[in-house]
Amino acid sequence: MTIPIVSTHVANIDIPRPKDVGVLAMEVYFPRRCISEAELEEFDGVSKGKYTIGLGQEYMAWPDDREDINSFALNAVAGLLEKYNIDPKSIGRIDVGTETIIDKSKSVKTHLMDLFAEAGNFDIEGIDSKNACYGSTAALFNAINWIESTSWDGRNAIVVAGDIAVYAEGAARPAGGAGACAILLGPNAPIVFEPIHGTHMSNTYDFYKPNLSSEYPEVDGPVSVVTYIAALDEAYSRFREKTARQLKLAQINGYSNGHVHSGDKPADPKAAFSLQDVDYALFHSPYGKQAVKGHARMLFNDFRSAPNAPQFADIPNPEAFLAASQKESLSDKNVEKTFIAASKKSFAQKTDPGMACSKRLGNMYTGSLYGCLASLVANVEPAQLRDSRVSMFAFGSGCAASFFTFRVKGDTSEIKEKMDLMNRLAAMKVVPCQEFVDALALREKNHNAVSYTPEGSIDNIWPGAFYLDSVDSKYRRKYVKAPLA
Amino acid sequence: MTIPIVSTHVANIDIPRPKDVGVLAMEVYFPRRCISEAELEEFDGVSKGKYTIGLGQEYMAWPDDREDINSFALNAVAGLLEKYNIDPKSIGRIDVGTETIIDKSKSVKTHLMDLFAEAGNFDIEGIDSKNACYGSTAALFNAINWIESTSWDGRNAIVVAGDIAVYAEGAARPAGGAGACAILLGPNAPIVFEPIHGTHMSNTYDFYKPNLSSEYPEVDGPVSVVTYIAALDEAYSRFREKTARQLKLAQINGYSNGHVHSGDKPADPKAAFSLQDVDYALFHSPYGKQAVKGHARMLFNDFRSAPNAPQFADIPNPEAFLAASQKESLSDKNVEKTFIAASKKSFAQKTDPGMACSKRLGNMYTGSLYGCLASLVANVEPAQLRDSRVSMFAFGSGCAASFFTFRVKGDTSEIKEKMDLMNRLAAMKVVPCQEFVDALALREKNHNAVSYTPEGSIDNIWPGAFYLDSVDSKYRRKYVKAPLA
């Protein structure tokens, strides 16, 4: 891939913003091993379907103490640079989103600078963004905004989104996962982000990590379930309101982008945008079932804005769904059930093509939504993906959420080919559940340790991948590459 | 202050970037108590001058367990909103820079959302940026870039920069400090940031916080001293190179901004920018002496680029300073001594007016450089400050550094008056050193504790300020306001 560089190293004062900023290239890194959630049900002695149907999980990836967030990020970025033959000097910014904090001060980003040292490129802006699973989306927005700012110097940006999601023994453990995405961003991209963001942020204690000496989070189950859906309602509403205002402005100014609804004007201006305006809808997916619920909730919002639309003709007892307040609807199991059923076909068409990483790797936290993007590119033929419009719902507990969209304006063939995602996911080793339990015990034992050499076997590292060699007496971490096969 | 709102809630697609993005308003929050570093020398039984001359420190602020980074940020932002009568709905983005991590997932930003809930504004982008003391500068750049991006919706942004800098007993303890700045950013501002950033990032272990269960950092003294200065050399060089390229471009295009050097063309294009091009030069100031060294190093860089300039006529034995490599010069005490002496007057004129917060509060980590900005506005008469140009050197260990500039294009009277910084710093209680030692013991005891009520007295909280009321059994933190006096 020839990565277009508009100019180098000169701040473009008063030069118009570059056009079509988006994804030029992409890579996903993940551990070599995974376990089957069906086997884990048996291993844990829980009822069949608890993880596979209840959570909607199929497999889950995890590293032992040979990998950490720095080695994950190094692998994702090194893979990106190598596969696409990117000149390290062509990078002017790197933003990392992660909630896997192994140092309260030093950023993951500083470790990535090792990949650019040989080329002599130390002039790379951007550090780490933190708020649960939302850090990646903040990183993405920040990198795009840099390219659109007067401070942009013509070089491309990289966004890294990755985490190691591990839980204490108990109900949440099967909802873990691991992986990291690296995304090359620049102008004139085949995948182009649109400017409107519908955002919702508020102070919640649904999932958080206040126990600094543990790698595990605190999770308030009941609060957590509602927070995601409530944030989706709000972020999606803000997005739709802004879209409606923009359409109105465009109409006033004599423009139309083809998305103005004709016929009877809906009473709710939010109806200016619905699921029907996108070809694909991607959701932050802590587990598969959450994406199903998110998709259904989007449809529920569409229904509330335009209940008389033909697509809702089969919704049973619609008055009840319209009479309830938004707050009441959050905990109404009948709402969930009805709209999951009503959106089944839509989910299969618009969301499932983006679920490959979630199904194989589990929850990548910040990487989850961008794993959906990678899966979509990997699963859909470039000719079919071209000219499609895709929505993204980003969510991080605490909480921070944004709803936004992108358009596929160019050819995604090279990204699909270079990522080689489906083959690589298939090549993972599916191992017995005891290996997973042992690996997590090893992580617990060595979490935050000083003066130690990890115990995990190098055989479980992909050939040529970075891993943690040792932590010295001053907590300094050393990374080396596994031998090539 | 009437905060200008260009438009509300509509993404300005294809509308040109807004002009003159910068500081519209500012607030600094700090604890009510401080100790004298001279008294601390006596208290610690060290040689007189070790802290006051060796480190260049005068006083140091610190909170006990009644305050944390969330209450700091709440106070800075609440103060900003109240003093300037800012409509909470006029804010579209908040970026927090901090390295005081009390939750590995939940951002400080989410706590700030409580200040906007009553107004019903939950659509506020931005989360926390992390890399040592550089998080604030990343937050600033990200907020400015948002305003310059196509995603900007016409609202203003707030940047929060704050930390609680505490050290284990030993040599580093007197270099602590505490405080938080809140900055309102928008277009058509009196203090306008310029677009060129000279950045240097690399993988160093100078100061870091790998021991997650402790509030204290690991510091590698010898590495730390060199890292700051080496990063300044590189960031300043990149800035000067970019400035030179921009000037060349401007000349090609027939423009000149008055900063092109006349007469003999210097051999080194970096000479296109020097200390002489700014009226004030602000430096990240972990302690006062570091700013002195930073200023001297800037002059040393200027000297290396244009040794024959008249201002360097009195430098003794200039050939020796020119012959040494940049690396050799980093550890050359004679370089440091010579250029500190040569820059004494320049420091007093250009840097010292920005040192008020550093002198009274000590190290605010991410807040340090922005405390310099606040001090400059507080100390210099608006008529004198107007039309001046100011340089900023941001540094965070690990490491990340940027050199950039702003111009004062408007009246800073209202900011100076509303911040009331000098009076408020003077109103702090200077207390016996034992109170400081006791407070840090209390922080150690209660760090990361669960189910507890802080023991610190409310009398040490400013009237009307937020403080930590309690942490419940699920680690959830509750903040309340101290009674008004």
Q: Among the three residues A383, A410, A437, which one is the final residue of a domain in this structure?
A: A410
Nearest neighbour of A127 by CB, restricted to B103, B138, B474: B138
* pLDDT of B266 over the 80 cut: no
Nearest neighbour of A10 by CB, restricted to B10, B151, B242: B242
- Say how far apart CA A69 and CA A99 lie, in whole Å: 9
Distance from CA of B395 to the nearest CA of A (A): 12
Contact call for residues A465 and A481 (beta carbons, < 8 A): yes
Query: What single string gives the DSSP state of each residue in A234-261?
Result: HHHHHHHHHHHHHHHHHHHTT---S-S-
**What total of structural domains would you count in chain B?**
2
Question: Chain B contacts of A122, Cβ < 8 Å?
Answer: 199-202, 234
* Encoded tokens for B472: 């419940």
* pLDDT of B9 over the 50 cut: no
* pLDDT of A405 over the 80 cut: yes
Section A399-422 average pLDDT: 98
Nearest neighbour of A141 by CB, restricted to B99, B129, B151: B151
Section A315-328 average pLDDT: 93
Which amino acid is located at A65 in the chain?
Answer: D
Question: Chain A contacts of B450, Cβ < 8 Å?
Answer: 210-211
Residue pairs between chains A and B whose CB atoms are closer than 8 Å: 279
Flag whether residue B200 sits within 8 Å of chain A, measured between CB atoms.
Answer: yes
- Say how far apart CA A195 and CA A184 lie, in whole Å: 18
Residue B10 has what pLDDT? 44
Q: What is the pLDDT of residues B442-461, one digit of tens each?
A: 999 999 899 999 999 999 99
Distance from CA of A22 to the nearest CA of B (A): 13
Section A209-225 average pLDDT: 93
Flag whether residue A208 sits within 8 Å of chain B, measured between CB atoms.
Answer: yes
Taking an 8 Å cut-off on Cβ atoms, the answer to whether B104 and A99 are in contact is yes
Question: Chain A contacts of B244, Cβ < 8 Å?
Answer: none
Greater confidence (A257 vs A177) lies with A177
* pLDDT of A356 over the 80 cut: yes
Flag whether residue B217 sits within 8 Å of chain A, measured between CB atoms.
Answer: yes
Section B237-248 average pLDDT: 95
Taking an 8 Å cut-off on Cβ atoms, the answer to whether A11 and B150 are in contact is no
Q: Do B323 and B472 share a domain, yes or no? A: no
Flag whether residue A242 sits within 8 Å of chain B, measured between CB atoms.
Answer: yes
Nearest neighbour of B17 by CB, restricted to A17, A124, A213: A17
Q: Is residue B29 part of a domain?
A: yes
Q: Do A113 and A245 share a domain, yes or no? A: no
Distance from CA of A236 to the nearest CA of B (A): 11
Q: Do B470 and B325 share a domain, yes or no? A: no
Nearest-CA residue of chain B relative to A138?
B126
SS3 B406: strand
CATH of residue B77's domain is 3.40.47.10
Ramachandran sector of residue A144 (left: φ over 0; alpha: ψ -120 to 50; beta: rest) = alpha
Section A186-200 average pLDDT: 98
Query: What single string gives the DSSP state of each residue in B206-252?
Result: SEE---TT-SSPEE-HHHHHHHHHHHHHHHHHHHHHHHHHHHHHHHH
Distance from CA of B422 to the nearest CA of A (A): 30
Q: Known binding site: residues of A?
A: 224, 289, 293
Section B226-230 average pLDDT: 97
Mutate to test the interface with A, among B71, B142, B406, B452 (most CBs of A within 10 A): B142
Q: Do B219 and B321 share a domain, yes or no? A: yes
Residue B389 has what pLDDT? 98
Q: Provide the b/e sequence for A87-126 (b: ≥16 CB within 10 Å).
A: eebbbbbbbbbbbbbbbbbbbbbbbbbbbbeeeebbbbbb
A99 DSSP assignment: -
Q: What is the pLDDT of residues B458-472, one digit of tens each?
A: 999 999 999 999 999
Nearest neighbour of B448 by CB, restricted to A16, A213, A396: A213
Section B201-222 average pLDDT: 95
As a whole number, the mean pLDDT across chain B is 94
Contact call for residues A385 and A413 (beta carbons, < 8 A): no
Q: Is residue B275 part of a domain?
A: yes
Residue A222 has what pLDDT? 86
Flag whether residue A423 sits within 8 Å of chain B, measured between CB atoms.
Answer: no
Q: Do A47 and A122 share a domain, yes or no? A: yes
Domain assignment of residue B451, given as a range = 22-191+424-481
Q: Do A227 and A295 share a domain, yes or no? A: yes
> Which residue carries 């940026």 as its tokens?
B129
Which of residues 34 through 63 in chain B touch A, CB cutoff 8 A? none
Burial of A223 (0-12, 13-18, 19+ CB in 10 A): middle
Residue A1 has what pLDDT? 45
Question: Do β-strands B389-396 and B280-283 pair in parallel, antiparallel, or remain unpaired?
Answer: parallel
Contact call for residues A93 and A157 (beta carbons, < 8 A): yes
Question: Chain A contacts of B474, Cβ < 8 Å?
Answer: 205, 218, 220
Percent of chain A scored above 90 by pLDDT? 91
* A133 labelled catalytic: yes
- B4: Cβ contacts below 8 Å, ≥ 6 apart: B24, B186, B187, B188
Q: Do A246 and A389 share a domain, yes or no? A: yes
Q: Do B223 and B283 share a domain, yes or no? A: yes
Flag whether residue B223 sits within 8 Å of chain A, measured between CB atoms.
Answer: no
Section B205-218 average pLDDT: 96
A105-114, A364-373, B122-131, B312-321: least confidently modelled range: B312-321
**Ligand-binding site membership of B224 (annotated):** yes
Q: Is residue A9 part of a domain?
A: no
Q: What is the pLDDT of residues A201-215, one digit of tens each?
A: 999 999 999 999 999
Q: Known binding site for CoA: residues of A?
A: 224, 289, 293
Sign of the C-alpha dihedral computed for residues B355, B357, B363 and B364 taken in this order: negative
Residue B254 has what pLDDT? 67
* pLDDT of B264 over the 70 cut: no
Band (pLDDT 50/70/90 cuts) for residue A249 is confident
Residue A58 has what pLDDT? 98
Taking an 8 Å cut-off on Cβ atoms, the answer to whether A130 and B146 are in contact is no
Residue A17 has what pLDDT? 87
> Which residue carries 């309690």 as its tokens?
B470
Q: Among the three residues B396, B417, B438, which one is the final residue of a domain in this structure?
A: B417
Band (pLDDT 50/70/90 cuts) for residue A254 is low
Residue A75 has what pLDDT? 98
Q: Is residue B361 part of a domain?
A: yes
Band (pLDDT 50/70/90 cuts) for residue A455 is very high
* pLDDT of A480 over the 80 cut: yes
Residue A7 has what pLDDT? 42
Distance from CA of A302 to the nearest CA of B (A): 20
Mutate to test the interface with A, among B20, B127, B141, B395 (most CBs of A within 10 A): B127
Residue B249 has what pLDDT? 86
Band (pLDDT 50/70/90 cuts) for residue A14 is low
Which of residues 84 through 123 in chain B touch A, CB cutoff 8 A? 99-107, 109-111, 113-114, 117, 122-123
Mutate to test the interface with A, among B77, B107, B115 (most CBs of A within 10 A): B107
Nearest partner of B346 among B285, B304, B273, B292, judged by Cα:
B292
Query: What single string gives the DSSP state of each residue in B151-213?
Result: T--S-EEEEEEEEEE---SSTTGGG-EEEEEEEEEESS-SEEE-S--EEEE----SEE---TT
Q: Do A240 and A341 share a domain, yes or no? A: yes
Q: What is the pLDDT of residues A53-93, one digit of tens each?
A: 999 999 999 999 999 999 999 999 999 999 999 999 999 99
Q: Do A285 and A329 share a domain, yes or no? A: yes
Q: Provide the b/e sequence for A439-461 (b: ≥16 CB within 10 Å).
A: bbebbeebbbeeeeebebeeebb
Distance from CA of A262 to the nearest CA of B (A): 22
Instruction: Look up the ipTM and state it.
Output: 0.95
Band (pLDDT 50/70/90 cuts) for residue B4 is very low
Q: What is the pLDDT of residues A138-167, one digit of tens each?
A: 999 999 999 999 999 999 999 999 999 999
Q: Is residue B440 part of a domain?
A: yes
SS3 A17: coil
Distance from CA of A7 to the nearest CA of B (A): 12
Sign of the C-alpha dihedral computed for residues B353, B358, B361 and B365 taken in this order: positive
Question: Chain A contacts of B146, Cβ < 8 Å?
Answer: 141, 145
Q: Is residue B11 part of a domain?
A: no
* pLDDT of A354 over the 60 cut: yes
Section A219-224 average pLDDT: 89
Q: Do B67 and B170 share a domain, yes or no? A: yes
Q: Do B177 and B211 share a domain, yes or no? A: no
Taking an 8 Å cut-off on Cβ atoms, the answer to whether B105 and A399 are in contact is no
Residue B152 has what pLDDT? 96
**Ligand-binding site membership of B256 (annotated):** no
Residue A272 has what pLDDT? 94
Taking an 8 Å cut-off on Cβ atoms, the answer to whether A197 and B151 are in contact is yes
Residue B267 has what pLDDT? 75
Q: Is residue B2 part of a domain?
A: no
Q: Is residue B299 part of a domain?
A: yes
Q: What is the pLDDT of residues B190-203, one digit of tens each?
A: 999 999 999 999 99
* A99 labelled catalytic: yes
Band (pLDDT 50/70/90 cuts) for residue A10 is very low
Sign of the C-alpha dihedral computed for residues B139, B141, B142 and B146 taken in this order: positive
